[in-house]
């Protein structure tokens, strides 16, 4: 199981969407995630539909689609190891 379950994921998404609205005055239109089950559950899909959010997923087994995230993760891992 991943770090988050669907209840925690939904809570984090609500907080994130609220933060974007208040800090930037913008609406979240699209959320892109990996194929984690916590982003694809029925309750989360209903939440996306209720908020008018399109959910996009990356292709399976193609980390190159997440290049920026992968590089950042590698950098953070290297810094953590160095400390």
List the CATH number of the domain containing 68.
3.30.420.10
Specify the DSSP element, H or E, that contains 14: helix 6-24
Nearest-angstrom CA–CA distance, 30 and 47: 13
Structural domain span for residue 64: 6-82
Question: Is 25 a member of any domain?
Answer: yes
Question: Is 57 a member of any domain?
Answer: yes
Confidence at residue 1, expressed as pLDDT on a 0 to 100 scale:
45
Does the structure show a pLDDT above 50 at 4?
yes
Confidence at residue 49, expressed as pLDDT on a 0 to 100 scale:
93
Confidence at residue 18, expressed as pLDDT on a 0 to 100 scale:
92
Mean pLDDT, the chain, rounded, equals: 82
Task: Please tell me the total count of domains within the chain.
Answer: 1
Question: Is 1 a member of any domain?
Answer: no
């Amino acid at each position: 199981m991943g770090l988050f379950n669907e209840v925690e994921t939904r809570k984090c998404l609500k907080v994130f969407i609220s933060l974007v609205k208040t800090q930037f005055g913008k609406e979240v239109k699209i959320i892109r995630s990996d194929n984690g089950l916590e982003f694809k559950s029925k309750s989360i899909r209903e939440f996306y539909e209720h908020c008018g959010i399109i959910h996009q997923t990356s292709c399976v087994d193609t980390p190159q689609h997440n290049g920026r995230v992968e590089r950042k993760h590698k950098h953070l891992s290297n810094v953590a190891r160095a400390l």
